[in-house]
A and B are shown apart, each in its own frame.
Chain A
C-alpha cells in the first residue's frame, strides 16, 4: 500500500514537473474568418463560413460588401445563404451575371467566439473547388458582441480543422 502510494505520488509529481518544464507558451491566434472547402453533392454544393478566436464576446455581425465575395459564375449559380448558430440573414444579393455576392448577417442572441455562422448553397455546373470562390478582407467588416468592429483579423481559406 505504501509502495503504491509512493509510486503514484512520484509518478504524478514527476509527470507534472516534466510537463511544466516541457511546456511551450501558447499564444492566442488572431481572430479568424474561415471559409470551408466546397462540399459537392450531386448537382448542388455547400460552403460553410465559420469563425475562430473572436474577441469581446464573440462575433455578432458580419457585412460583406460589393467585391467582398466573387465566384466563378460559369460553374456556380443560384447562390443562397443561410445563417447558423443564431445568425440571421439581414440582406443578401448574389449576381450570377457578374459572379459577385454581398450579404449582411447578425446574431440577435449573442456573440460567437468560434463555430459555424453561415452556409452558402449553390447549383453546380462543372468541377467546383475552393479556387472558384474568393473573399476579399478589405471589403468585409466584422462586429463583436461589444458593438465594436473586430480589428486585426485574418481570412483563412481551405483550413481543414480549427479548435474552440
Chain B
C-alpha cells in the first residue's frame, strides 16, 4: 500500500512539468496575523485547448468561499467567444452568466452580448441581449448598439457590479440585463470624427428608448479659445423631447514644472457662465534617485479631494469620482510621503520595498503623523513571490500580513 502511494506521488510530481504545459494559473494568498488570524486566497486556473481557454477563478475570504467563476475565451472559425459564469458557493447559488460573440463582417465589427442575472441576487431575475455594430465610413466612426433588454458598458453606462453584502466584495461585468421592458428596449447610435465649420472631432450621440426619442447629444472636447494657454472648454449640447441644455465645462491644465505637479480646477460662480477663479487643490512631487523613487502628495481641499489607497495608485482624486469608480481612499489623511525601492533579485525577477507615511489634520503625533504603511515583495523564483505588509497608526499596529503568489 505504502509502495503504491509512494509510486503514485512520484508519478504525480514528475508529471507536473507535463501538466504545466496544459494548465496555467496563479494562486495569491494572504495570511493576516493582526488584527486577527485570517486567511484569504484567490486561485485562477486556465486550461488551453486549441484556440480556446477555459478559466476558473476561486476567491476565499475568512467568511467563507465567496466567488467561483468559470470563463471561456477564444475564437472559432473567425468568431470570437467569451463566456462567464458566476456562482456563490457559500449559498450554493448560480448568480450571473454572460456570453459575448464577436465577428468581423464586411469590414464591420459585429458583437452580440447576452446576459442573465438569477433571482439569488437582489435585483434579479433579469435577462437580455444587445447587438453592437461598429465601423468607419469616410473617416467617420460609428457605433450602433441595439438593446434587447440589456445595456453594455460604455462611457455613459457602467455595466453591472454584483456585491457580496456581508464582505463588500464585488465582481464586475460589461453586460447589464437589468433593463425595464421586453423586446427592443433601446438603440444608441454614436458618431465620432465629425467636423463642423472650424471644429473638428465632434461626437454625436442619438438615443432611442423603448417609448421613443430620448435624446440627441453633441459633444466638443478640448476647445481652445486662446483665452489662456492653460484653459480649454468642453461643450455639450443635449436635445431632449421638451428641453434643450448647453453645458460649458472649463478645464485647466497647468502641466508639470520639473518634478512638481500642481493640481487645479476652475471654480464656477453662482451666475451661469461665471468663472470666479482657480482652485489649487493639491500639490505633488516625484523623482527618481537611483533605484529609489520618491513621491509626495498634499491635498489642500480635503472636503472634495482625497488620496487613494495603495491598491488604487496613491493619487489625488475627487471624492465623488473615487466613490463612483469604487476606488478606496483615505478620508483622514491629507499628505503622503512615499519611498519605493526596486532592485534585481533572484532568477531575473525584481524585489520591491514600499514605505508610505501619511499625515493627518489637527494636532497629533510628530509633524501630524497618522499612519505608516510598509510592503516588501521578494521573489523566491520566477514563479514564487513572498510579501509582507505592515500598517501602523497612532493607536498601534493595525495590520500585519504575509502573502504569497504562485504562477505556473
Contacts and interface: CB of A to CB of B under 8 A. Distances in A.
Contacts of B114: 15, 19
A8 B165 contact: no
A42 B319 CA distance: 32
Nearest to A32: B122
A39 interface: yes
Interface string A40-65: 01111000101011000000000000
A15 B129 contact: yes
Contacts of A162: 121-123, 162-163, 165
Interface in B151-198: 160-168, 177-184
A68 interface: no
Interface stretch (A23-31, A92-100, A134-142): A23-31
A161 B88 contact: yes
A115 B123 CA distance: 13
B32 to A, nearest CB: 9
B319 A116 contact: no
Contacts of A86: 319-320, 323
Given A32-B122, A163-B178, A20 B163 contact: no
A12 B120 CA distance: 29
A26 B91 contact: no
Contacts of B303: 108
Given A34-B165, A86-B323, A159 B122 contact: yes
B163 A26 contact: no
B371 interface: no
5 contacts: A8-B103, A20-B129, A36-B166, A52-B123, A160-B164
A4 B103 CA distance: 10
B131 to A, nearest CB: 6
Lowest 5 CB-CB distances: which A-B pairs, in order? A42-B36, A162-B122, A163-B123, A19-B129, A36-B165
Given A15-B114, A23-B128, A110-B320, A163 B166 contact: no
Contacts of B304: 109
Interface of B: 35-38, 62-63, 77-79, 88, 90-91, 93, 95-96, 101, 103, 105-106, 110, 112, 114, 117, 120-129, 131, 146, 148-149, 160-168, 177-184, 303-304, 319-320, 323, 326
Most buried by A among B96, B106, B123, B146: B123
Nearest to A47: B166
B180 A25 contact: yes
A37 interface: yes
Given A8-B103, A32-B122, A162-B163, 16 more contacts: A23-B129, A26-B125, A26-B149, A26-B181, A36-B165, A37-B165, A39-B166, A48-B168, A108-B303, A160-B166, A161-B162, A162-B162, A163-B121, A163-B122, A163-B163, A164-B163
A163 B149 contact: no
A160 B179 contact: no
| Majority secondary structure of chain A interface residues (helix, strand, loop or mixed) | mixed
Given A42-B36, A116-B168, A4 B101 contact: no
A38 B120 CA distance: 19
Contacts, number: 162
A64 to B, nearest CB: 18
A51 to B, nearest CB: 11
Contacts of A34: 122, 165
Contacts of B326: 115
A53 B148 contact: no
Contacts of B90: 160
Given A8-B110, A42-B37, A19 B88 contact: no
A37 B63 CA distance: 10
Most buried by A among B91, B93, B121: B121
Contact of B182 (A25, A38, A44, A53): A25
Contacts of A11: 79, 101
Interface string A82-121: 0001100000000000000000000011101011100000
Interface string A128-154: 000000000000000000000000000
